[in-house]
Amino acid sequence: MTDIASARVLIIATDGFEQSELFEPRQALLDKGAQVTLASNKSDPIQGMKHQEKGDTIRPDASIHDIDPGDYDALVIPGGVANPDTMRMEEDALRIVRDFFAQGKPVAAICHGPWLLAEADVVAGRKLTSWPSIRTDLQNAGANVVDEQVVVDRNLITSRKPDDIPAFNSALIEAIEAA
């Protein structure tokens, strides 16, 4: 059992993240006392999106190139179309995802975030959900894709869209506390 107040949570994102899918889980974790680190493939502030419109920016705390997954208790992958599409081309992002899965630590991905999981080849045989437009990609990667607000399959937590964030946050916090 992990006390959420002592948990170390890693969020990986880059330009094009869906603003609510990064900021709201991050704030929910901070409100519970967790230490949250945002890592990116760049050091400049990254650009959030509110659907198709530019949103707020946030400066990453660390580079994905320097991240040791062993230093963290859980991983969060926000959606947004461009964010996971860019991150799935980053070998260090794939390494981070694979390491979290190999260690059985909680991994939470929302909306388009599971695209990164498919690229990391960790979804085969897993039940999960996502934004509708990537479901075929996830099925082709061997996932059992369902249309539910939040899906928990062992250490994997997934949700479909911003409206699901409250359920996503609750499942994430519960998974961290149970780890």
Among candidate residues 77, 84, 90, 112, the one labeled active-site is 112
**Annotation marks residue 112 as catalytic:** yes
Model pTM? 0.98
Can you list the alpha helix ranges (DSSP code H) found in the chain? 19-31, 82-87, 91-102, 114-119, 135-140, 165-178
Give the model confidence (pLDDT) of 5-42 as tens digits: 999 999 999 999 999 999 999 999 999 999 999 999 99
DSSP-based three-state secondary structure for 78: coil
Domains contained in the chain, CATH given:
4-178 (3.40.50.880)
Six-digit token string for 108: 């939470």
pLDDT digits (tens, 9 = 90+) for 53-106: 999 999 999 999 999 999 999 999 999 999 999 999 999 999 999 999 999 999
In this prediction, residue 2 has a pLDDT band, given cuts at 50, 70 and 90, of confident
Q: What pLDDT is stored for residue 7 in this prediction?
A: 97
